Amino acid sequence: MGRGRRAGPAAPDPGGRLERGGATLERGDSLGCYEGWPAPTVIVSDGAYGVLGFEGDTAGPAGLPGWYEPHVRAWAAASSPRTTLWFWNTELGWASVHPVLARHGFRYVGCNVWDKGLGHVAGNVNTGTIRHFPVVTEVCAHYVREATVGGRPLQAWLLDEWRRTGLPLRRANEACGVKDAATRKYLNQGPLWYCPPPSVMERLVRYASEHGDPAGRPYFSLDGARPLDGEAWARMRAPFRCPHGVTNVWARPPMRGAERIKVPGGRAAHLNQKPLDLMARIIVASSAPGDVLWEPFGGLFSASLAATRLGRRAFAAEVDPGYFALGAARFPAYGP
């Protein structure tokens, strides 16, 4: 229940590992589970917030980097350039952990804000005495696993490979069949960098091979023996599909009524429940059916439940026996 309280004695400890509706749910610390899980396409992290929200949470944001460090290290070891990380937290909690994520090779893409609206604080805030604007938000930071070639990020590697050809930078525009996008975007070394689409990358590679210094061939090769093709290039990036009309501000009321899981007596089973529709949004945007999702801090397994309903495979862990039992009960006992 938070503040050091468990979900309650009504839910017995099922222990072990359960297969439920396409999800593998483990009762234990995820640090002991990662090696047995297949490589993830998506990781949804909804762990410590530094607010004593559950048994084992830290008392403030200063303790979060150390709390997350071993997990981030394990995520990095299991991830590929196809992996997307969605990191839920408070604004300050996320800011505290960002250096850990960056140090282990996760590249920041953007910050999404869940705006719960005034209903989140209605009747609970005295604006005559409060010393700050009422907080009605959480953040879900978007990261991808940074792809590298020979230890260099793709952005730097692209320019280095073109320079090896001995061709002027402006010829890259001709190679890609664009007016100036190659020099302005594809070979840009600043924040305006844009990764070339696979079809454009194939044109760049072909042009370099035909017109570049013969002594430097092959150009744009991952193994030093053959140039990459569009399919190989596509695997160097995490998938993302932006639904029409969706921005990084998610105006969505807080969970109430039947959608909020409760324990006997009417209390919320978990202080930090997430809506299934928001979980579905990030899963659809960053994966395809059949892909693998990790939910290291399962809680009530909202991300895993949304993932299995969307045809993904989910692997999750939860240390608290009460939360584990309540979360597992949301899944069909049998099924795909």
* pLDDT less than 50: residues of the chain: 1-12, 335-336
Question: What pLDDT is recorded for position 56?
Answer: 87
Cβ-in-10-Å burial (0-12, 13-18, 19+) of 81 comes to middle
Question: What pLDDT is recorded for position 212?
Answer: 97
Beta strands at 23-27 and 313-318: parallel, antiparallel or unpaired: parallel
- Spell out the residues 6+ positions from residue 299 whose beta carbon is closer than 8 angstroms to its own: 46, 270, 272, 273, 318, 323, 327
CB under 8 Å, gap of 24 or more: what pairs does 182-191 form? 186/158, 187/158, 187/159, 187/162, 188/155, 189/155, 189/156, 189/159
Distance (Å, whole) CA 249 – CA 112: 6
Q: Which CATH superfamily is domain 17-147+248-328 in?
A: Vaccinia Virus protein VP39 (3.40.50.150)
Q: Which two tokens stand for residue 212?
A: 């570049």
Cβ-in-10-Å burial (0-12, 13-18, 19+) of 68 comes to buried
For 74, phi then psi, to 5°, come to -70, -40
Reported as a single tens digit per residue, the pLDDT across 175-208 is: 999 999 999 999 999 989 999 999 999 999 999 9
Question: What pLDDT is recorded for position 48?
Answer: 95
Listing DSSP states for 121-177 in one string gives TTTT--TTT-SSPPP-EEEEEEEEEPPEETTEEHHHHHHHHHHHTT--TTHHHHHHT
| Cα-based distances in Å from 88 to 37, 222, 223, 237 | 21, 34, 37, 22
Question: What pLDDT is recorded for position 200?
Answer: 96
Reported as a single tens digit per residue, the pLDDT across 139-166 is: 999 999 989 999 999 999 999 999 999 9
Eight-state DSSP code of residue 263: -
Question: What pLDDT is recorded for position 8?
Answer: 44
Distance (Å, whole) CA 68 – CA 72: 6
Question: What pLDDT is recorded for position 13?
Answer: 55
Q: Which two tokens stand for residue 142?
A: 């978007």
- With beta carbons less than 8 A apart as the criterion, state whether 115 and 81 touch: no
Eight-state DSSP code of residue 268: B
Measured at the CA of 186, the angle between CA 183 and CA 187, to 5 degrees, comes to: 60
Question: What pLDDT is recorded for position 11?
Answer: 47
Question: What pLDDT is recorded for position 271?
Answer: 73
